[in-house]
Structure 1
């Protein structure tokens, strides 16, 4: 019975923490930047262009440097990525996304350390690294978000 009450209390506090995050300025900034990004036609065209060229890149990547279009596709991927990243709405969204991820990492680390030093928690930026690859290829393309 005691364990059940403790679990219920933990769940209640978890829901409160989740609601606090949802009500935070960081989350509001994230939602606003996501909405602005979704409503911006130019940004959406750049994202679509990048996704399209990324599909070609993945086909070429299977053969690596031996594919006849390797150099051309690599240049196009970098160019499309650069154009997309230079868009104000995309850049603003990425900053908001990193800020939200940082807050979530800090909370996870705080909760883990409050339990025990041995409990593993996300290291800041591990899930969404500043130097990670945003194209979904696992970093193998070298586009360096």
Structure 2
């Protein structure tokens, strides 16, 4: 691979951008909430309980509704999942994670749009995907709502 001064400059700018993201309040909030979650014994116990329930649930799913414990395990799985999702540390972490992902998605879209309006940036977020991809058609005949060229 031939390294040029331009590619070195691009890599340096990318590193600067990464450092700015890491030092942002959004990233700091993410790391604080991650630390709180990892050190919250109650949350970790709930996550462990969820993991065990999930394993049992996946075993039952192989047989579907014909498994004798299907109803009971499905109900338990939902209850444990709800308990995990409603726990304060888990909810704060998920919120911070979503905000950081949104920041990264918007940066990706901005960079892609700076290069060309036809650059496709898969963000997993329909709002950003509609801004960045399918500018020239996606090959589905417009089924996704894009303009067919």
Quickly name the TM-score band, shorter chain normalised.
0.7 to 0.9
Deviating beyond 4 angstroms after TM superposition, the runs of 4 or more aligned structure 1 residues are none
How many matched pairs?
125
Name whichever of 68-77 and 7-16 sits farther off: 68-77
CA–CA distance in structure 1, aligned partners of residues 6 and 93 of structure 2: 39
CA–CA distance in structure 1, aligned partners of residues 119 and 89 of structure 2: 38
Give 1:62 deviation, angstroms. Answer: 1.7
Instruction: Return the TM-score normalized by structure 2.
Output: 0.79
* Structure 1 partner of 2:104: 104
**1:60-116: CA deviations, max 9, x gaps?**
112222222211111011000001111111110010000001001101111111111
Which one has the largest radius of gyration? Answer: 2
CA–CA distance in structure 2, aligned partners of residues 11 and 64 of structure 1: 51
Instruction: Return the TM-score normalized by structure 1.
Output: 0.81
Q: Is the 8 A contact 1:46 1:80 kept in 2?
A: yes
Q: Is 1:68 paired with 2:61?
A: no
SS at match of 1:118: coil
* Structure 2 partner of 1:33: 33
Q: How do 1:56-135 and structure 2 match up within 5 A?
A: 56-123=56-123, 125=125
User: Unaligned stretches of 5+ in structure 2?
Assistant: 127-149
